[in-house]
Chain A
Amino acid sequence: MEKALLKNLYYRMVKIRACEESFVEPILNGEIKCPVHLCTGQEATAVGICSALRKDDYVFGNHRSHGHYLAMGGEVKSLVAEIYTKKSGCSKGRGGSMHITAKEQGFVGSVPIVAGTISLALGAALAANVRKEPKVAVSFFGDGATGEGTLYESLNFAALKKLPIIFVCENNLYSTHLPVKEIRPERPIFEIARPFGIATSQVDGNDVLAVFQEANKAVELCRQGKGPFFIECLTYRMRGHVGPNDNIQGDQTDIRPQSEIEEWKKKDPIKRFEKMLLEEKILEEKELEEIKQGIKKEVADAHKLANEDIRPRSETLNKYVFK
């Protein structure tokens, strides 16, 4: 794989991590009030999948979608401003963290109803099919969404019409506060696609190259009219379901054992990739540092801009209900 590509994978993951972690302090001190679902620890799934896509493809997200937005090339400053619910936010302060869009980059949008956008991605794939465009639709959803009927309805229809859609389940082992073993029988999630005859696989979601390779395979098949495809990415949510950690309000809502968190810290997707890049002598320590510093500045500037921006004026309350 060429250096520029690998560098770009690294760059995008670091960007997502830097953004996510930059929200922790403003959340804790109350500057950010809207619910924020951080994807720290899940960067490799977003970057691995989205790096296989083009800007004219259709990506749909969920409540935890900052990573998908950034991986598709959404602007840091519009995202940060939206999370502060400012006027210059990507959704003009109407959405907050859970409703974001970078349509021109192929990130059509995210909304927080669990499984809510799976069928929207299905429709985008259907549109591509009707128009005979070689486009791919991607739906990102979590393990929690496997409890929703619309997922199975969508799998059925996608298989029936051979639609160019990739169902990406980011299995971070927790459905809000509940471990996955309490919400479904102990069977691998990727197997739910099998009865529909959908090609399906499970990958190490903390290995960006593994995700990227699987995504490329899926994208290519979809573009050839051989969709749909299902990918389960095994990963871990390093922070709470909502906010920096689940004890933010002083209540023990997180039932994760500390030892489990420590184990997963060792599998940090960015550290793993960094180690590989250095060992294989693809990038030097200095280059990694340059990337980090550049991103640090971009994120800091975005917070500064967002802080200087105004919130939408009350007279504009009814704007955007209709086109």
Chain B
Amino acid sequence: MRISVLVQKLLINMSLNKRKLSYGLAINEAMSQLMRKDPSVLLLGQGVKSPWYVGATCKGLAQEFGGDRVIDTPISENAMTGAAVGAAIVGMRSVILYPRMDFMLYAIDSIVNEAANWSYVLGGASSVPIVIWGIINRKGEQGAQHAQALQTMFAHIPGLKVVIPSTPYDAKGLLIAAIQDDNPVVYIDDRWLYGLEGNVPEEIYTVPIGKGVVRREGKDVTIVGTSYMALKAVKAAEILEAEGIDAEVIDLRSLKPIDEDILFASVKKTGRLVIADGTWKSYGAAAEISALVAENIFEYLKTPIKRVTLPDLPAPASRTLEQAYYPGEKEIIAAVKEIVKNNH
């Protein structure tokens, strides 16, 4: 019986997962399927009609759904975000897109003061079903104002959920879950993931918000990755395997709510933790994950926790400086070796 269930699951998985799609097109498919299914879904943002500004994510949407529901906005982030919030309060499911996450800073009032607080301050009289979608525009010599990864700021705010998909499958499933959620969800993707191909089922499906996933099982050390750093963590683990270190990789997929269960179960098993996060170190996601582990399961730790993050600096332009600025598998491997070497 058990085997037949497993076989059945495997067959379902194979049939669902046979199609490959890029990350950018997975987002595009989620948007178009939900706009087709639910007339209350509304998309606003700079570049939603552009052939290049937001990759392939908005391909064909304006043509299919028209200018009333797919609105390429003036450069007015504060009011446009407020409008998306207001529309959501009165029953739309708004998606507001920022082609460069840096531009979201103009909209902080609408996001933090209005969207995040609205349900609470009015005792639940109305909620804000909005997706606040920011693209990290990392690298490419873009410099500090076109490359920031600010998701941790939003994860600090009560009333916001924050998701950070790293695969095409999660990009689609989390966007659908975010649009269908009755609350504000900050959806952060990374433009360097847009070309990444992976299995994406054709039908509408969701990836639960607040649930991480084990990308690779291992027993020596836990590497927790966020967004594109989860992919780097998988690569690092593959290299480490050749050197005899068996790393477990967890992709958190959501920063808030954070999946404590998956994190604690893994660290309890391995006793070692490396956090790979593509945001700044101080007060960041890696700091929060460290605190959670130290506070709750300190006795399981065999070694200190290591953090692999951006240095506390603005993003540089020059490629030599970029190289030094962005961590990758090399830095993750070095961090793992620092804590595994003596006790392995």
Contact residues of A with B, CB < 8 Å? 58, 60, 89-95, 99-101, 103, 108-109, 111, 113, 116-130, 137, 149-150, 153-154, 156-157, 160, 319-323
- Which of the residues B73, B79, B89, B123 comes within 8 Å of A118, measured between beta carbons? B79
- Which of the residues B74, B109, B124, B126 comes within 8 Å of A157, measured between beta carbons? B74
The CA-CA distance from A175 to B82 in the complex, in Å, is: 23
Which 3 A-B pairs have CB atoms at the shortest separation, nearest pair first?
A119-B82, A123-B86, A92-B123
A122→B79 contact, CB < 8 A: yes
Which of A116, A125, A126, A319 has the largest count of B CB atoms less than 10 A from its CB? A126
With CB as the reference atom, state the residue of chain B lying closest to A319: B124
A157→B121 contact, CB < 8 A: no
Interface membership of B239, Cβ < 8 A: no
On chain B, the residues within 8 Å of A101 by CB distance are 122-123, 125-126
B89→A94 contact, CB < 8 A: no
Q: List 27 A-B contacts (CB under 8 A).
A: A92-B123, A94-B123, A99-B121, A100-B122, A103-B126, A109-B126, A111-B113, A111-B121, A117-B86, A119-B110, A120-B83, A120-B89, A122-B79, A123-B83, A123-B86, A123-B89, A123-B90, A127-B86, A130-B42, A150-B82, A153-B76, A157-B76, A157-B79, A160-B74, A321-B119, A322-B183, A323-B119
On chain B, the residues within 8 Å of A95 by CB distance are 121-123
B307-321 CB contacts (< 8 Å) to partner A: none
Interface membership of B254, Cβ < 8 A: no
Contact residues of B with A, CB < 8 Å? 42, 68-69, 73-74, 76, 78-92, 94, 109-110, 113-114, 117-127, 158-159, 182-183
4 more CB-based (< 8 A) A-B contacts, given A116-B109, A130-B42, A157-B74: A60-B86, A94-B121, A109-B126, A119-B80
With CB as the reference atom, state the residue of chain B lying closest to A130: B68
The CA-CA distance from A6 to B297 in the complex, in Å, is: 69
B74→A156 contact, CB < 8 A: yes
A126→B121 contact, CB < 8 A: no
Given known pairs A119-B82, A124-B86, A153-B78, the reply for A323 and B122 (CB within 8 Å) is: no
On chain B, the residues within 8 Å of A120 by CB distance are 82-83, 85-86, 89, 114
A92→B124 contact, CB < 8 A: yes
B182→A323 contact, CB < 8 A: yes
With CB as the reference atom, state the residue of chain B lying closest to A155: B79
A157→B80 contact, CB < 8 A: yes
A122→B83 contact, CB < 8 A: yes
On chain A, the residues within 8 Å of B125 by CB distance are 90-91, 101, 103, 109
The CA-CA distance from A312 to B203 in the complex, in Å, is: 44
A122→B76 contact, CB < 8 A: no
Query: Min CB distance, B58 to chain A, in Å?
Result: 17
- Which of the residues A94, A109, A119, A320 comes within 8 Å of B83, measured between beta carbons? A119
On chain B, the residues within 8 Å of A160 by CB distance are 74
- Which of the residues A58, A94, A150 comes within 8 Å of B78, measured between beta carbons? A150
The CA-CA distance from A246 to B84 in the complex, in Å, is: 37
With CB as the reference atom, state the residue of chain A lying closest to B159: A321
Query: Min CB distance, B268 to chain A, in Å?
Result: 27
A124→B87 contact, CB < 8 A: yes
Which of A123, A156, A157, A160 has the largest count of B CB atoms less than 10 A from its CB? A123
Query: Min CB distance, A121 to chain B, in Å?
Result: 6
Query: Min CB distance, A144 to chain B, in Å?
Result: 15
B82→A118 contact, CB < 8 A: yes
B85→A123 contact, CB < 8 A: yes
Query: Min CB distance, A37 to chain B, in Å?
Result: 15
B119→A322 contact, CB < 8 A: yes
The CA-CA distance from A286 to B40 in the complex, in Å, is: 52
On chain B, the residues within 8 Å of A128 by CB distance are 90
- Which of the residues B94, B117, B123 comes within 8 Å of A123, measured between beta carbons? B94
Query: Min CB distance, A92 to chain B, in Å?
Result: 3
A123→B82 contact, CB < 8 A: yes
- Which of the residues B81, B90, B109, B124 comes within 8 Å of A127, measured between beta carbons? B90
A113→B114 contact, CB < 8 A: yes
The CA-CA distance from A99 to B85 in the complex, in Å, is: 16
On chain B, the residues within 8 Å of A58 by CB distance are 90
The CA-CA distance from A150 to B74 in the complex, in Å, is: 12
B73→A157 contact, CB < 8 A: yes
Which of B90, B92, B109, B110 has the largest count of A CB atoms less than 10 A from its CB? B90
On chain B, the residues within 8 Å of A121 by CB distance are 86
With CB as the reference atom, state the residue of chain A lying closest to B113: A113
- Which of the residues B81, B118, B124 comes within 8 Å of A119, measured between beta carbons? B81
B84→A123 contact, CB < 8 A: yes
On chain A, the residues within 8 Å of B79 by CB distance are 118-119, 122, 150, 153-154, 156-157
On chain B, the residues within 8 Å of A99 by CB distance are 121-122
A321→B158 contact, CB < 8 A: yes
A108→B88 contact, CB < 8 A: no
On chain A, the residues within 8 Å of B88 by CB distance are 123
On chain B, the residues within 8 Å of A137 by CB distance are 86
Given known pairs A113-B114, A154-B82, the reply for A89 and B90 (CB within 8 Å) is: no
With CB as the reference atom, state the residue of chain B lying closest to A139: B86
Given known pairs A111-B113, A150-B79, the reply for A123 and B87 (CB within 8 Å) is: yes
Given known pairs A116-B114, A124-B87, A157-B73, the reply for A320 and B123 (CB within 8 Å) is: yes
With CB as the reference atom, state the residue of chain A lying closest to B84: A123
Query: Min CB distance, B115 to chain A, in Å?
Result: 10
With CB as the reference atom, state the residue of chain A lying closest to B42: A130
A157→B83 contact, CB < 8 A: yes
On chain B, the residues within 8 Å of A92 by CB distance are 123-124
On chain A, the residues within 8 Å of B81 by CB distance are 119
On chain B, the residues within 8 Å of A119 by CB distance are 78-83, 85-86, 110
B124→A320 contact, CB < 8 A: yes
Query: Min CB distance, A102 to chain B, in Å?
Result: 9
A109→B110 contact, CB < 8 A: no
On chain B, the residues within 8 Å of A129 by CB distance are 68
The CA-CA distance from A154 to B183 in the complex, in Å, is: 24
